[in-house]
Chains A and B, each alone.
Chain A
């Protein structure tokens, strides 16, 4: 019979070996978990204008096409994005210095002009927003960009989950009949756990 090995020496050897093997093993395992996980995204949609209607639906429909699980929580002015009829969404150039004001028709030199119309003038012209909206709709069409109702339909078709803030539905005096089918009406407590486990969370 040989002598019993010193326990401290054995411990040391084990520790050394673990140090050698573990980092590689952990990396391997993490990679495996990452590869098998379905990515997820939770979006809060709070804006109700034609321009701001795009980001949530573009990102949601694209993520769904990539195979992600997607939830959009519609609240405050974002409720306008889930109304049955979204053809009345408007865009306002008033107080929006980032918005190029270009014409979607005419010769190229005319289309390239950026019309810097002062806010005070914009505010004083009746129907200015309506005109700006129809010009933007034309630009959207000219550029082969999808309409909001099309992107919304594609999102729902692809399995994007729509949840709606019940509190703001009541606050703004809407009825569930005003909105598209297939949505859950919930509160913040229902959305937060979804956001907690999502890989991507966006406030739009």
Chain B
């Protein structure tokens, strides 16, 4: 998937992946896509909730090899 910015949240724990993602999204313009890599298993549910609350669209959420990859499109 194409993306405009990447956030490496590996090794970070709650709530840092969300806080960093919020900051990274603020630097994008509407319609641009942020890719996030995280290792916190809680981040799967958290990014779903974050997307629902903020209106930014969670395009995909996947796990590979204990790492979680998210693509979020800025509202």
Contacts and interface: CB of A to CB of B under 8 A. Distances in A.
A62 B13 contact: no
Interface string A142-155: 01111000010010
A58 B14 CA distance: 8
Interface in B1-57: 11-16, 18-19, 21-22, 39-40, 49-50, 53-54
The B interface, classified by DSSP as helix, strand, loop or mixed, is: helix
A144 B18 CA distance: 14
A146 B20 CA distance: 12
Contacts of B54: 65-67
Given A143-B13, A145-B13, A61 B53 contact: no
A158 B18 CA distance: 12
Contact of B13 (A66, A67, A144, A154): A144
B50 A154 contact: no
A144 B22 contact: no
A67 B15 contact: no
Contacts of A67: 53-54
Interface in A127-162: 143-146, 151, 154, 158
Given A65-B22, A65-B50, A67-B53, A144 B11 contact: yes
Contacts of A66: 49-50, 53-54
Contacts of A151: 15
A152 to B, nearest CB: 12
Contacts of A61: 15, 19
A158 to B, nearest CB: 8
Contacts of A154: 19
Given A66-B50, A67-B54, A144 B12 contact: yes
B15 A62 contact: yes
B22 to A, nearest CB: 4
A106 to B, nearest CB: 20
A66 B14 CA distance: 14
25 contacts: A58-B14, A58-B15, A61-B15, A61-B19, A62-B15, A62-B18, A62-B19, A65-B15, A65-B21, A65-B50, A65-B54, A66-B49, A66-B54, A67-B54, A143-B13, A144-B11, A144-B12, A144-B40, A145-B13, A145-B16, A146-B13, A146-B15, A146-B16, A154-B19, A158-B22
Interface of B: 11-16, 18-19, 21-22, 39-40, 49-50, 53-54
